[in-house]
Structure 1
Amino acid sequence: MFIQIITDSGCDLPYSYLQERGIAFLPLLVHFNGEEYEDFITIEPKQVYDAMRNGQIVKTAQANPLKMKELFTQYAKENRPCLYIAFSSQLSGTYQTAMSIRNELLEEYPEFQLTIIDSKCASLGQGLAVIKAAELAEKGMPYNLLCETIASYCHHMEHIFTVDNLEYLARGGRISKASAMVGGLLNIKPLLHVEDGKLIPLEKLRGRKKVLKRMVEIMGERGDDLQKQMIGISHGDDEEAALELKQLIEKTYGCTRFFITEIGGAIGAHAGPGTLALFFLNKYIEV
């Protein structure tokens, strides 16, 4: 039985990678300069970051409901079992829209197997779950077990991240504008994490070196069997910082498997250039 894995651009996996693995993809939408773009398809992340650096306001929207319905309907007609790993419902309305469309389709195609997981994850937190789902589907894991395993995988995913400029979080209402101004003057770098799908501040540190060191320390405090894991690192047009973090993790914990990628426009529009994020499991799942 061929199980179709579906995701959206909240996962920040390169579009070329998704195509190679046969993973169906729903792009979130990016708006600026009076135009609408499909994340990763009609616009590259760097274009978004360059626009932000030039002072443009970039806005985002959930995946197109019509295209989502077309995709789901195609698989319903084929009676192909599907697993959709969705961007956190706390950060986008995409999951709720998918559930609504699923319920509509089940009236016409009652045998259609479509499980939609609210990953409560973002960026490579979601992306690592998608990678694992594709691997397990290729190995022939039964549908129900696959869905249960990936739901657990998402539940145990840690997100530790920092931003280079607090102003972008202030624009999105994550922090006050006064905090952003003071933070910028003092070179304050916030550490945040994701809790039940929401962005939650953790700590504030001064300077990038201290931030990277603390990210690695938190990884050791929360991670489980880190050497066995695929570690995710995503960045907002700052590959140098991502590689520096990778080297620290290699040196500290001996990890050898990494997936490094650039944060897409839909998430980058809120986090901004210079964002750096780290992903790992707090409970290693042997499958």
Structure 2
Amino acid sequence: MPNEAPAVRVVTDSTACLPAAAADAGAPVVVPLRVVSGEESWREGVDITPEEVAARITAGERLSTSQPSPAEFAGVYRDLVADGAQAVVGVYLSGALSGTVEVAASAGHRAMIPVQAIDSRTVAMALGFAALEAARCAAEGHDAATVAARARQVAASSTTVFLVDSLDHLRRGGRLSAPAAALGTALGVRPILAVRDGGIEMAQRVRTRRAATDRLVELALRRAETCERPGLAVHHLGVPERAAELAERLGAATGAEPVVTPVSAVLGAHAGPGALAVVVAELGGRPRDAVR
């Protein structure tokens, strides 16, 4: 991307799990969500790391999360106007999981430039790939409508599957229904979860961690085979060795280099230590192919 910031700027949130290498002049601006414990709160990626979240949960601390405030979004929009932005396209984690997109849209109504707030209906690097492709589209000089269409196109193409060591964190946070959590626990199985239509569902059940990891690979490769240019990502919380092994297997089978990052602190607060996720998205095609 060129060093000069584009006229259309892309904003996303910290649950996109973007790698540090993604930062440059035209990269998405990241607005942090917060991890909360009692009266204290920390901005993820600023005040608290995924590793610290894992340590707090392991020590028995119960964490919750919160979305950015309208003032935080308003501040971002003001800064972008000062930087020469003429329009903003925001792409955020699923509205079924957080009210972030609603807050972003509300703040956008009062901005000095046009602001679109897109519900990606997904999270993690499925959201991250959508934001990065939107930013790339903006850097090529496309208008806001085309940038927004590209974000929607990539987000809709994504597949996200993951494992957790315990379903309790997702159940307590309201991200997984109590019956689904009870079913996974009662049968003594390793549930494979998926992000579908913006929510989290139990996709499959297997008996062992190894079988579950193998199934993650199988599901990811099945999706990658249908992609013109697959984008691959592996996330984890506190299990870097397992993530590296999984990424190596995916890379060897596809010839693509997966992005490997810890799951964001906010997502980690809901997934818990031991979480392991795979994301596949279609990065092929061009902005002109996006359906407006």
- Band of TM-score, shorter chain: 0.7 to 0.9
Q: Counterpart of 1:279 in 2: which secondary structure?
A: strand
Unaligned 5+ residue runs, structure 2?
A: 1-5, 287-292
TM-aligned CA distance change 1:33 to 1:15, over 3 Å: farther
Q: Counterpart of 2:55 in 1: which secondary structure?
A: helix
Kept in 1, the 8 Å contact 2:7–2:85? The answer is: no
TM-score, structure 1 normalization: 0.87
The structural deviation recorded for 1:45 is 1.0
Equivalences for residues 115-154 of structure 1 within 5 A: 115-154=116-155
Tell me the number of residue pairs that the alignment of Structure 1 and Structure 2 aligns.
Answer: 277
Kept in 2, the 8 Å contact 1:14–1:40? The answer is: no
Give yes or no for the alignment of 1:182 onto 2:186.
yes
Partner of 1:241: 242
TM-aligned CA distance change 1:180 to 1:229, over 3 Å: closer
C-alpha distance in 2 between matches for 1:254 and 1:191: 22
Aligned CA RMSD, in angstroms, stands at: 2.3
The structural deviation recorded for 1:172 is 2.3
Unaligned 5+ residue runs, structure 1?
A: none
Deviations 1:49-97 (A, max 9, x none): 1000000000100012211112123334645221111111111101011
Percentage identity across paired residues of the two chains: 24
Kept in 1, the 8 Å contact 2:227–2:284? The answer is: no
Give yes or no for the alignment of 1:256 onto 2:262.
no
The structural deviation recorded for 1:2 is 2.8
Letter in 2 for 1:207: T
C-alpha distance in 2 between matches for 1:34 and 1:180: 33
C-alpha distance in 2 between matches for 1:199 and 1:263: 16
Deviations 1:122-175 (A, max 9, x none): 111111112222233333334322221121111111111111222222322424
TM-aligned CA distance change 1:153 to 1:57, over 3 Å: same
Kept in 1, the 8 Å contact 2:221–2:250? The answer is: no
Partner of 1:99: 105
Kept in 2, the 8 Å contact 1:39–1:266? The answer is: yes
1:74 to 76, 79, 83: 79
Q: Counterpart of 1:91 in 2: which secondary structure?
A: coil
Q: Counterpart of 2:204 in 1: which secondary structure?
A: strand
C-alpha distance in 2 between matches for 1:227 and 1:73: 38
Letter in 2 for 1:264: S
Deviations 1:165-193 (A, max 9, x none): 2222232242436446535xx3x211111
Q: Counterpart of 2:109 in 1: which secondary structure?
A: helix
Give yes or no for the alignment of 1:274 onto 2:247.
no
Q: Which deviates more from structure 2 when the two are superposed, residues 201-210 or residues 66-75?
A: 66-75
